[in-house]
């Protein structure tokens, strides 16, 4: 009996997962932590203080900020989110 096509299927599945991880990393711009400098609001340009109290537990978990000048919600890298 032949072993079947299990080996090539597993290799193909591993390659698909690897390429998917590379695409996801490229979309996130290879950012995994806090940015190197101050966060600027994408809407009004104000500097958002890094040591800012988060208005909700969910936002604290997702590492988000809200601009005090205009109310724009953003992620931990300063990209606009929602509103």
pLDDT tens per residue across span 24-77: 777 666 555 555 678 888 899 888 876 665 556 665 555 677 888 888 888 877
> Does one domain contain both 26 and 41?
no
Confidence of residue 11 (pLDDT cuts 50, 70, 90): very high
**Domains: count for the chain:** 2
Instruction: Residue 73: give the domain boundaries.
Output: 33-83
> Does one domain contain both 22 and 51?
no
In this structure, are strands 39-40 and 65-66 parallel, antiparallel, or unpaired?
Answer: unpaired
> Does one domain contain both 3 and 23?
yes
> Does one domain contain both 82 and 47?
yes
> Does one domain contain both 67 and 83?
yes
Stated length of the chain: 83
Asked if residue 68 lies in contact with residue 51, where contact means CB atoms within 8 angstroms, the answer is: no
pLDDT at 47: 87
> Does one domain contain both 23 and 61?
no
């Amino acid at each position: 009996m032949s072993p079947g096509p299990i080996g090539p299927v597993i290799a193909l599945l591993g390659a698909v997962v690897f390429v998917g991880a590379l695409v996801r990393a490229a979309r996130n711009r290879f950012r995994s932590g806090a940015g190197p400098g101050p966060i600027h609001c994408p809407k009004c340009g104000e500097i958002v203080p890094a040591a800012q109290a988060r208005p909700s537990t969910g936002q604290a978990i997702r590492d988000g900020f809200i601009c005090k000048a205009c109310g724009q919600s953003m992620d931990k890298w300063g990209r606009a989110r929602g509103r």
